[in-house]
Structure 1
Amino acid sequence: MDIRRARTPAEIEAAEALFDGPARTVWSQRFLAAPGHVMLLAYVDGAPVGMVSGVEMTHPDKGTEMCLYELSVDAGHRRLGIGRALTLALADEARARGCYGMWVGVDTDNEAALATYASAGAGDEGVFAMRGWDTGPR
């Protein structure tokens, strides 16, 4: 397995089977151009089999932390340590960028994700509620 940072929309689009929907070129360009955004892709035999995305968040009284935005591994490559490796690679990237920590929100019934994050050293910070707003068309 090889983990590399995505640098072009073409790389992201070649891995779009790992996303919830199609990767759009304009959105991929915007993601890649934004300071503090990072996407790492895992390859096996030259094919993308996993991805993790992270977004730096800075606050005046806290400094900068990394949010693990999304993690995905191809169904045929799960339970092989790819998700753990991607998570650890993002944590390494966060450290290299000077982030004081990294966090992820995960559904409490998503046992696979919880196990992956625990195996990568994440601690349980307790149950929280998430609320969202629909602010317009996508």
Structure 2
Amino acid sequence: MAQWTVVRAQHPAELVAASHLFDGPVSHDGAADALARPGHVVLLARTPDGRDVGFVSGVEMRHPDKDPEMFLYELGVDEAWRRQGVASALLDALRDLARGLGCQGMWTGTEADNAAALATYRRAGAQVDRGSVFVVWDELDGEDVPAR
């Protein structure tokens, strides 16, 4: 019997309670907004006593000339629960959910030197595309945008 089950977060309070898994504190409003957005999903790995030990978030995406696909937004596992199959179970559950939604692929990005993430994704069947480059706009307030 597994030490945890994977469940889909349905209520903001679930994500607030799982804040320790995220990069920063989860607000009720932020959680409510994320869960209400079409195509957004958060899955939690939860122990029988109700403790959340990992999460994966994804966004179903569709472009007019492509099949639907799942963007794996973020994956996190409590440090004490790493290397016990939690991440693999979360990735399998997100992949299964994506298939159920008609997605034909799943993708994500990570740092080139994040060996743990790359190994986890490879174990889950992903192929690393070394030719890809991510271009990021962190601030959209216009202050750092050069004049044209």
TM-score normalised by the chain length of structure 1: 0.95
RMSD: 1.0
Distance in 1, matches of 2:128 and 2:15, equals 31
Residue 126 in structure 1 maps to residue 130 in structure 2: yes
Question: How many pairs align?
Answer: 136
Q: How far is the alpha carbon of 1:63 from its aligned partner?
A: 2.4
User: Are 1:57 and 2:37 matched, yes or no?
Assistant: no
Match of 2:84 in 1: 80
> 2:11 aligned to 8, 12, 25, which one?
8
Counterpart for residue 92 of structure 1: 96
Q: Which residue of 1 aligns with 2:42?
A: 39
The offset of 1:117, in angstroms, is 0.6
In structure 2, the gaps of 5 or more residues are 142-148
SS of the counterpart of 2:62? Answer: strand
Using the TM superposition, give the Cα deviation of residue 118 of structure 1 relative to its aligned residue in structure 2, in angstroms.
0.7
Instruction: From the CA coordinates, give the structure whose radius of gyration is larger.
Output: 2
- In percent, how many aligned pairs have the same letter? 52
Q: Which runs of 5+ in 1 are unaligned?
A: none
* AA at the equivalent of 2:74: E
2: CA distance between counterparts of 1:127 and 1:24?
36
Q: Deviations over 1:79-137 (max 9, x none)?
A: 0010011011100000000001000101111111111111111112223222222113x
Q: Secondary structure at the match of 1:69?
A: strand
| Local SS of the residue matching 2:136 | coil
